[in-house]
Amino acid sequence: MLAAFLAAFSILTVPITVKVISLCSKEKQLSKFDGCQDPPCERPYDYFGVVNIIAATRHLLNKTALANTVDRFHTYGETYVTRFLDQRIFLTCDPRNIKHVLVSRFIDYDSSTVRVHLFLPITEHGIFAVDGPEWKRARNVYRNVFSRTRSIIDLNVQERQFQRFLHLIPPTGEPFDLQALFLKLTLDLTTAFALGESVDSLSPSQSDEKKQMVQSLLYAKKKIARDGFLGPLRLLFGRRDFYRACSDVHRYVERRIEGVIQEKRQQGEDGGLEKHLKGFNLLQALADNTDNVLELRDGVISIMIAGIDSVASLLSATFWLLARDERVFAKLRASVLDSFGQELPNYDQLKGLTYLRHVFQEAMRVYPPVPFNARIANKDSTLLYGGGGDGNSSVLVKKGDKVIFSSWASHRSLKTFGEDSHEFRPERWERLTAEELMGYIPFNSGPRACPGQQYAMMEASYAAVRILQNFSEVRNRDPRGWTEHIALSLSNGNGVLVELVRKSEVQNVT
Q: What is the DSSP letter of 100?
A: I
Residue 101 DSSP code = I
Classify residue 203 as exposed, middle or buried by CB count within 10 Å of its CB (0-12, 13-18, 19+): middle
DSSP character at residue 384: E
Q: Do 303 and 189 contact (CB within 8 A), yes or no?
A: no
Sequence-ordered strand ranges (E) for 95-187: 109-110, 176-177
Rounded-to-integer distance, Cα 478 and Cα 58, Å: 26
CA distance 68 to 410: 14
- Compute the distance between CA of residue 54 and CA of residue 84 in angstroms, rounded to an integer: 11
**Largest alpha-carbon pair distance within the chain?**
77
Give the chain's end-to-end CA distance (angstroms, integer): 60
440/433 Cα distance (integer angstroms): 11
CA–CA gap between residue 123 and residue 117 (Å, rounded)? 10
User: CA 299 → CA 41, 43, 149, 363, 443, distances in Å?
Assistant: 40, 42, 18, 29, 19
Please tell me the distance from the alpha carbon of residue 377 to that of residue 189, in angstroms, as a whole number: 37
Residues comprising the chain, all counted: 510
Q: Which residues pair with 271 in a beta bridge?
A: none
Residue whose C-alpha is closest to residue 82's, from 56, 116, 102: 56
What residues does 374 pair with on adjacent strands?
404
- Neighbour count for residue 102 (Cβ, 10 Å): 23
For the chain, count helices (H), then strands (E): 22, 12
The C-alpha atoms of residue 297 and residue 61 are separated, in whole angstroms, by 35
Are the C-beta atoms of residues 242 and 219 closer than 8 Å to each other?
Answer: yes
- CB distance 114 to 374 below 8 Å: yes
Residue 93 assigned as binding residue: no
Which residues fall in the annotated binding site for heme?
450
Which residues fall in the annotated binding site?
450
